[in-house]
Structure 1
């Protein structure tokens, strides 16, 4: 692979649009689909007591009580958000972008981009995130921070249960609160991420845009499909996709694309070296 050519494309770009899905999370050691050792170590009791088979299963479960729901979520948020430290792969990505304008389009909800220094105003977390919550009844569309509350609940959790008086309630109608994430919220409240993305794309329409796609499977029509169609519609755009064991690029953009079958951490390290 000609990493020098990729590095030059990024250097010459007016801006970079970063598309991200689960492959990057897995690179960081967070696998929401896996019944692996990490899941057993952190959530083995929930697995045995409730039959959940992976993190995603727990995130989208219909818990019997708020105490049980927030027992799961407060533990998840504590270990994967409150204790998160920037990983080398995120640092390399920041270094590659440098001072260039960028936007992040991601279906990941663990907020590792924000915690690694990326600007939340240059981001569209299209399926929500773990660090905001909303009214379950959707009586209004305000999103509330959850990290501090989750840490209080985690400290008080015992045997997977959080005291009922600590579980969050809507400040307006008193309904329970849900994590602002599709699949976790009964009535998902939209935010303004799509407007921010639209403004970014309008700003760089017709300019040298690099689309850098990290860890997205070929069937993905939430991010990958739209990014390839965007590349086709923007004649000055370049498309770079990195995914272990599966690289797919449509024929109509292959002459402006680079597909790399490899580990995201290794590939970004090589691109950084080439820059």
Structure 2
């Protein structure tokens, strides 16, 4: 394991980030669960962390892959909606951390602005005021629903559903949402494990808007935040852009390109350091 960078080396890396931003004409933010952790959200990818948040799933030794699946909605709908209903309520009341505002300010510096690519389903970028037309949610969104069957390719807002959850039992107490067309159980419009029923039309439209934004951008910069290697969708997508990459990750920050900058820290810490470097650069003669 390599030793952490010294304070002087970190300041040099922040300065390099500021130079990359000054040279770019468009910013692609690629975000994994680590950005939400900075806002106080738990990372549900690991079983141990999930079981601490949901003791009933821990007692049943139920893994994330088991509860985050269409099968769970078929077999134990109140438990599945207890898990997702709790998350929905949590995301609705969570305020985005300071890193979102810093990213937005960086995007405003660039001629083409920014676009977001995220595996997060929490809707935090929209809640932070980012343009919904400039976000790709590659795994869908908990704030939208679809038919579990599904009976048709229809997606609708979850705004009318206010879940009441028994936190200890991880079970939904009130009526689960239903498909307005066939009356079957509804589920979040999220790509789950072993999921052949996910309706991807909303995400497909997001991809189309990204492609239209990306084509004229000539000097792209990628800032990746809190994206791990266990499910590498976010990391791979950023690397596929063949652009300078700023990788922010407390434990997996190494980059495979000499045009990359590695920042082994949380998103909030790294973005604050980049912000300071941008301010210093603006004051320099």
Q: Structure 2 length normalisation: TM-score?
A: 0.79
Alignment match, 2:283? none
Pairwise mapping of residues 76-155 of structure 1 onto structure 2 (< 5 A)? 76-79=87-90, 81-98=91-108, 100=110, 101-149=113-161, 151=162, 153-154=163-164
Check whether the contact 1:129–1:179 (CA below 8 A) recurs between aligned residues.
yes
Shift of residue 46 of structure 1?
4.2
Distance 1:160 1:228 in 2: 38
Is 1:11 the equivalent of 2:22? yes
Alignment match, 1:181? 190
Check whether the contact 1:218–1:247 (CA below 8 A) recurs between aligned residues.
no
Distance 2:168 2:266 in 1: 38
Greater mean alpha carbon deviation, residues 31-40 or residues 92-101: 31-40
Alignment match, 1:271? 274
Alignment match, 1:201? 214
Shift of the 241–161 alpha-carbon distance from structure 1 to 2, 3 Å rule, reads: closer
Check whether the contact 2:85–2:164 (CA below 8 A) recurs between aligned residues.
yes
Check whether the contact 1:135–1:178 (CA below 8 A) recurs between aligned residues.
yes
CA-to-aligned-CA distance 1:117-136 (integer Å, 9 cap, x gap): 11111011101111111112
CA-to-aligned-CA distance 1:7-34 (integer Å, 9 cap, x gap): 1321332110011112223333321124
Alignment match, 1:261? 264
Distance 1:247 1:222 in 2: 15
Alignment match, 1:45? 56
Shift of the 37–182 alpha-carbon distance from structure 1 to 2, 3 Å rule, reads: closer
Pairwise mapping of residues 207-222 of structure 1 onto structure 2 (< 5 A)? 207-218=218-229, 221-222=232-233
Distance 2:17 2:221 in 1: 10
- Of 29, 37, 51, which aligns to 1:26? 37
Check whether the contact 2:190–2:198 (CA below 8 A) recurs between aligned residues.
yes
Distance 2:56 2:232 in 1: 35
CA-to-aligned-CA distance 1:27-81 (integer Å, 9 cap, x gap): 33321124557853x4223433x43355x653336143433322222122112x1
Determine helix, strand or coil for the equivalent of 2:142.
Answer: strand
Q: Structure 1 length normalisation: TM-score?
A: 0.82
Coordinate RMSD, CA, aligned: 2.7
Gaps of 5+ in 1: 232-236
Alignment match, 1:230? 241
Shift of residue 148 of structure 1?
3.2
Runs of 4+ in 1 over 6 A off after TM superposition: 155-158
Determine helix, strand or coil for the equivalent of 2:141.
Answer: strand
Shift of residue 242 of structure 1?
1.4
Distance 1:15 1:213 in 2: 14
Check whether the contact 2:54–2:168 (CA below 8 A) recurs between aligned residues.
no
Shift of the 173–99 alpha-carbon distance from structure 1 to 2, 3 Å rule, reads: farther
Check whether the contact 1:71–1:162 (CA below 8 A) recurs between aligned residues.
yes
Distance 1:223 1:144 in 2: 26
